[in-house]
């Protein structure tokens, strides 16, 4: 199992409260955020056990979803639903995205 998968699961646990806040203020954005958050972990997990182009495709999907999670938080901030992500959370997202970029490069 990739270490980043366990890291992603822990990051998702830390996002429960802000996701709930966004959902209460904007059901559609919250639903989108919940889906793309789950997609990061699900595609990463699937990619670990895939081969060739399927592995690369799963990691690409996880990467796109990770960026979408950040975009949802940026939109929620812009709309006044939540404050900006803490530096720590932002750094953790950067770590996930950086790792996924490397996985995409090495799997393709």
Instruction: Find out if CATH 1.20.1440.60 is the number for domain 3-107.
Output: yes
* % of residues, the chain, pLDDT over 70: 99
pLDDT digits (tens, 9 = 90+) for 28-56: 999 999 999 999 999 999 999 999 899 99
- Between CA 84 and CA 72 the distance in angstroms is 11
- Domain residue ranges in the chain: 3-107
Residue 108: predicted pLDDT? 65
Residue 61: predicted pLDDT? 98
Angle at 57 (CA atoms; ends 18, 60), nearest 5 degrees: 40
């Amino acid at each position: 199992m990739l270490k980043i998968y366990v890291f992603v699961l822990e990051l998702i646990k830390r996002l429960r409260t802000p996701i709930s806040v966004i959902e209460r203020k904007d059901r559609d954005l919250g639903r989108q955020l919940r889906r793309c958050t789950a997609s990061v972990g699900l595609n990463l997990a699937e990619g670990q056990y895939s081969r060739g182009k399927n592995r690369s495709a799963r990691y690409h999907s996880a990467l796109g979803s990770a960026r979408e999670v950040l975009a949802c938080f940026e939109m929620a901030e812009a709309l006044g639903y939540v404050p900006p992500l803490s530096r720590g959370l932002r750094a953790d997202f950067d770590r996930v995205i950086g790792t996924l970029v490397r996985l995409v490069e090495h799997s393709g």
